[in-house]
């Protein structure tokens, strides 16, 4: 095969189009979870969602309540571990298997009541059963706790800096678990790439 002397190879810079989106697979007929629907808006699902931290997660030293009522740091949780969940429909506690674990880095997080270290967009349950993102929690809110009594928020501190964080994904439809005794949601999401 003969090539012409005028043959030139041109480099064309590849264009890569990548868009990330989170899709929620949460369904409920419960009034308890109806308030979570307010979290299911586009700005929440876009990474960054208006907060300085992205990724609805907890810091490594957060204690997770296991089904046997012992505690384990979230960084030490393994797939297959059984955590304690709360089913608001039946009002019962149940064991729930960890099916996957997210680990990523974020910029900034909140420290609530000097103990719970959580990203801005991670859902927390108020004692009333309403779900709020951690970034919307204010002093005076009462958070649902393992003992069912609730705990009044006395401080919300903004902490800056890059930090590794974790989130658990659970097997059963009831996607809540206890982090430092507070009821949080696993907020199961999946990234879609185009």
Q: What is the per-residue pLDDT across 39-78, written as a single tens digit (0 to 9) for each?
A: 433 323 322 233 333 567 999 999 999 999 999 999 999 9
pLDDT at position 5, please?
54
Q: Which one has a higher pLDDT value, 105 or 49? A: 105
CB 157 within 8 A of CB 173: no
Residue 34 CA to residue 179 CA, distance in Å, equals 22
CB 143 within 8 A of CB 150: yes
Does the pTM exceed 0.85?
no
Residue 179 CA to residue 56 CA, distance in Å, equals 13
Residue 69 CA to residue 147 CA, distance in Å, equals 12
Q: Where are the domains of the chain?
A: 20-193
Q: Which one has a higher pLDDT value, 88 or 57? A: 57
Residue 101 CA to residue 153 CA, distance in Å, equals 28
Which residues have a Cβ under 8 Å from the Cβ of 32 and sit 6 or more positions away?
88, 89, 129
- Provide the sign of the torsion angle of the four alpha carbons 91, 77, 72, 181, taken in this order: negative
Which position has the token pair 């030490």? 76
Kindly calculate the radius of gyration of the chain based on its CA atoms and give it in whole angstroms: 21
Over the stretch 112-165, which tens digit does the pLDDT of each residue have?
A: 999 999 999 999 999 988 889 999 999 999 999 999 889 999 999 999 999 999
* Domain spanning 20-193, CATH architecture: Beta Complex (2.170)
């Amino acid at each position: 095969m003969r090539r012409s002397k005028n043959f030139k190879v041109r480099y064309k810079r590849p264009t890569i189009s990548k868009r990330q989106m989170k899709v929620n697979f949460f369904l409920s007929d419960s009034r308890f979870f109806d308030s979570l629907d307010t979290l299911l808006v586009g700005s929440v699902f876009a990474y960054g969602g208006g907060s300085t931290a992205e990724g609805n997660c907890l810091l490594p030293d957060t204690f997770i309540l296991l089904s046997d009522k012992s505690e384990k740091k979230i960084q030490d949780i393994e797939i297959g571990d059984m955590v304690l969940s709360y089913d608001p429909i039946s009002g019962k506690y149940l064991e729930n298997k960890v099916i996957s674990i997210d680990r990523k880095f974020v910029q900034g997080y909140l420290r609530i009541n000097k103990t719970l270290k959580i990203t801005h967009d991670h859902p927390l349950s108020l004692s009333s059963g309403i779900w709020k993102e951690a970034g919307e929690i204010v002093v005076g809110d009462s958070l649902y706790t393992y003992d069912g009594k609730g705990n009044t928020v006395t401080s919300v501190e903004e902490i800056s800096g890059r930090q590794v964080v974790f989130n658990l994904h659970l097997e059963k439809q009831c996607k809540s678990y206890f982090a430092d005794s507070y009821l949080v949601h696993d907020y199961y999401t999946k990234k879609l790439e185009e």
